[in-house]
Amino acid sequence: MAAKSFDLIVIGSGPGGYVAAIRGAQLGLSVAIVERENLGGICLNWGCIPTKALLRSSEVFHLMHRAAEFGLKADNIGYELDEVVKRSRKVAGQLSGGIGHLMKKNKITVVMGTAKLAGEGKVTVKTDKGTEELTAKNIVLATGARARNLPGLEADGKRVWMYRDALKPPHMPKKLLVIGSGAIGIEFASFYNTLGAETTVVEVMDRILPVEDEEISKFAKKQFEKQGMTILQKAVVKQLDRSDAKVTAHIETGGKVQKQDFDTVISAVGIVGNVEDLGLEELGVTIDRTHVVTDEYCRTGVDGLYAIGDVAGAPWLAHKASHEGVMVAEMIAGHDVHPIKPESIAGCTYCYPQVASVGYTEAKAKELGYDVKIGRFPFIGNGKAIALGEPEGMIKTVFDAKTGELLGAHMIGAEVTELIQGYVVGRQLETTEEDLMNTVFPHPTLSEMMHESVLAAYGRVIHI
């Protein structure tokens, strides 16, 4: 069979791949996209979206228990875990189907199968009907990443889970151990803890949510402990002894190893890039710790071959992948583009309370040599937060004392994942403290705290 020729081939249909394909098609390129499992990739099917659906269910469950605070009555509060999971899968399925519609709308050729680079500009795809050959001057790798399995902590799908198992649990944990306190670990810990699991989180670093500002990490730890979680920092799970009914974890803290029994363990210890069996080494692509090495324009060094999203390294965020997809598609189409600034990409964690940040932490800014001004504002000082019954939280801003540049913003509390974009836009526009202070924020909104935090950095705060 003769090879099918395109202007652009995208390998992987996650939030980087499908967006790159759509943008390329919009710009007049003939585009093929190869997917080995589900359109939408891990994010839509097994990551960002279904986890948020689960967390929404746990949030509503939590609010139902607080009904009396709002003058409401709710008796015999409970949940059906199967129905919670069913809703989550339905949401994921709806969005995955939507990607299929977008492919048809933009006249993108979808090839379901496993791709391999067969040389510059050449891709072979193993499908259920055989092997297809595709050619294109430009190829975008958007193969994503998968959960890391540590020796001795491997998932078995029964008592020891990875994220996929936790999204379709075979049982409701009674006593849960979560290994790792990054976004994935903390979100699952928050979900299952809210539904009643006795939850312990083990983090090897000296604080949970280690990529966040230290103040935010400390605040989060206090809130999680108030909710009944046990947080073990500077701790390592050395071994898991498994039986049909339980898992015995050997946890080392302070040089001493203690054994604790759990009925369920979730391993959330990072990710590895999907770089195997793609033919990358044969083409001379550089791979560093399971990730494809690229320049700021996502070029791999091999003519016409690009890598975007998780497979190209940190930050491992869907919105970063999507933006890279647009940038690469526009560059291939001959447009002038601007490279992404990783420090201006927001990170969001959808636990309770939510956490969001963009830019430098206070410690990082000082490490880089900045003389900083710091602003802080608590949720308790905001009328909307009190009206919502969400007075626990804070917003912290970091400014360059010399220029007024917004260096970073860090938040914890209700709906901060929706608020952070204001500061993201500010950084993109190179906003100074004067611009932000002269902006009129609507009342009553949570966003007023963003304004107050800026004012606080310059000794002008109003409501505390």
For the chain, the 3-state helix, strand and coil shares in percent, each to the nearest 5, are: 35, 30, 35
Q: How far apart are CA 18 and CA 27, in angstroms?
A: 14
Task: Report residue 291 as tokens.
Answer: 């990730």
Identify the band that residue 1 occupies on the pLDDT scale cut at 50, 70 and 90.
Answer: low
Q: Report the length, in residues, of the chain.
A: 464
pLDDT tens, residue by residue, 250-270: 999 999 999 999 999 999 998
Identify the band that residue 83 occupies on the pLDDT scale cut at 50, 70 and 90.
Answer: very high
Residue keyed to tokens 């210890």: 269
Residue 372 has pLDDT above 70, yes or no: yes
- Within 13 Å of residue 325, how many CA atoms lie on the same side as its CB? 32
Output the pLDDT for position 44.
Answer: 87
Sign of the alpha-carbon dihedral angle for 34, 123, 106, 300: positive
The average confidence (pLDDT) of the chain is: 95
Q: Which of 65, 171, 335, 443 is catalytic?
A: 443
Q: Quick check: 304 and 138 in contact, CB under 8 A?
A: yes
- Residues with Cβ within 8 Å of 187's Cβ and at least 6 positions away in sequence, in order, are 51, 55, 349, 350, 351
Residue 152 has pLDDT above 60, yes or no: yes
Output the pLDDT for position 381.
Answer: 97
Residue 90 has pLDDT above 80, yes or no: yes
Q: Is 174 left (phi over 0), alpha (psi -120 to 50) or beta?
A: alpha
Residue 169 has pLDDT above 80, yes or no: yes
Mean pLDDT of 42-64: 94
Output the pLDDT for position 2.
Answer: 65
Whether 443 is a known active-site residue: answer yes
Global pTM reads 0.95
Output the pLDDT for position 270.
Answer: 87
Task: Report residue 17 as tokens.
Answer: 């791949």
Q: Quick check: 125 and 111 in contact, CB under 8 A?
A: yes
Identify the band that residue 413 occupies on the pLDDT scale cut at 50, 70 and 90.
Answer: very high
pLDDT tens, residue by residue, 398-409: 999 999 999 999
Q: How far apart are CA 98 and CA 145, in angstroms?
A: 22
Residue in 286, 357, 354 with CA at minimum distance from that of residue 315:
357
Task: Report residue 12 as tokens.
Answer: 């992987």
Residue in 186, 149, 179, 155 with CA at minimum distance from that of residue 252:
179
- Residues with Cβ within 8 Å of 88's Cβ and at least 6 positions away in sequence, in order, are 50, 51, 53, 54, 57, 167
Sign of the alpha-carbon dihedral angle for 222, 224, 229, 231: negative
SS (H, E, C) 311-360: HHCCCCCHHHHHHHHHHHHHHHCCCCCCCCCHHHCCEEECCCCEEEEEEC
Burial of 250 (0-12, 13-18, 19+ CB in 10 A): middle
Output the pLDDT for position 34.
Answer: 97
pLDDT tens, residue by residue, 170-225: 999 999 999 999 999 999 999 999 999 999 999 999 999 999 999 999 999 999 99
